[in-house]
Amino acid sequence: MEFLTEYGLFLAKVTTVVVAIAMIVSIVVGASQKNKQSGEKGYLEITPLNQQFDDMSEAMLIATMDESLQKAEEKKLHKAKKKQAKLDRKLGKKLSKDLDKNQSKNSAADSSGDVTTKSRVFVLNFNGNISASATSHLREEITAVLTQATAHDEVLVKLESPGGMVHSYGLASSQLDRIRKAQIPLTVCVDKVAASGGYMMACVADKILAAPFAILGSIGVVAQMPNFNKVLKKHDVDYEILTAGKYKRTLTMFGENTTKGRKKFIEELEDVHQLFKAHVSSRRPKVDIDSIATGETWYGSQALEMALVDDVQTSDEYLVSRIKEADVYEVAYVHKKKLHERLGIAAEESADRLLLKWWARLTQDSNKHI
C-alpha cells in the first residue's frame, strides 16, 4: 500500500511538471500570436523530384567513369539538357494553346497525337503525433493540390503515425477524403507505422503500400487515466466536481469513480470502436473486419495477407518507379516561425516526448498501444 501511495505521488509530481510546462508553452505561444502581423501566413514549397533524381543519377554516372571520360560525358549531358529544355518550352507553349481552346488537360498536346501530357504525382508528407497537429498543414497542401490535380494525376501521401486522439485523426481522414471525392487517385505509403488513427487515415486511400516491417492496424480504442482519490482521502483532501448533465463526467482523475460512470465510459468507447470499424469496412471491403478490429497490429507482409494493404514496398521504391513515367512534385506548406514561436514549439515537443516516455515505461508489458 505504501508503494502505491508513493507511486501515486510520483505520478502527481510528473503531472504537475507537465502542466507547468504546458502553461509556459501556452503563454509563449499566446504572446507570439498577439505579436504576429495579421497578414503573415504560411507558403507553399514545391520541389520537382524528377530533377533531383536525374542529378543524382548523373553524379553517380560521372563519379564511376574513368577520369579521362568524365569531361566528355559532362559536355554530352549538358548538351542533352539544353535540347530537352528547348523541347519542354515548345511543349509548354503548345499545351497553353490547347488549354486556351478549352481542350482537356489529358488530351494530346498536338493534333497528330504524337506528344501527350505526362501525368503528375503530388507528394505530401504526414508525420502524426497524439493530437495530429500536422493536419493544419495537410489541409493547406490538399487545397493547393486540388486546384491543379486531375483524374489523370495522382496524390501520394507518405504517412507515419502511431495514432492519437479520435477527433483529431477523424479530421485528418476527412482531409484525405477530399482527394477521393475529387476523383483523383490517392496512394498512401507507410514505411514505419500507420496504427490506430494512422490506419484510419491510410484506409481512405485507393491504394496502400507498406514496407515489409511497417506496423499497421490497431483498429481499437483505448483510454487510461490514473485515479488519486484514495491518496487524497488518506491526506484528508476533499475533491469536488460539479456538473449539469447526467453523464457530463463519467470518470475523473481525482474524484471517486462509480460503477455506473465506468459502465457509461466503456459504452462510449464501444461506440467509437463501432464507428472505426464501419469507417474501415466501407473503404476496405475485402477485409474481415471482425478478425482485424481486435486492436492487434501486423507487419507489412502480414498486413498484405489480411488485405489491410495492397502491396509491400517502400515509398522510395514506388517513387522511383513513378519518376520514370510521371512528373513528380513534393508539396509542403511551410510557416516560417519567429524565434519565440520556435522556442514555444520546442517546449511543447519536449513535454510531449516526456509524456510518451513515461507512457512507454508504464505500459512496457506490451508494445501494441496507440
Residues recognised as catalytic? 196, 248
Nearest to 180 by CA among 207, 144, 216: 207
Residue 98 near residue 133, CB atoms below 8 Å? no
Residues in the chain: 370
Q: 221 and 273 in contact (C-beta within 8 Å)?
A: yes
What is the distance between the alpha carbons of residues 165 and 85, in angstroms, rounded to a whole number? 48
Q: How far from the centroid of its chain's Cα atoms is residue 272's Cα? A: 21
Q: Strands of 297-299's sheet, edge to edge?
A: 193-195, 215-217, 297-299
Q: H helices of the chain, where?
A: 2-35, 49-63, 67-100, 135-146, 166-181, 197-202, 229-234, 259-283, 289-292, 300-305, 315-323, 339-362
Nearest to 55 by CA among 29, 81, 76: 81
Grid cell locating 249: 463526467
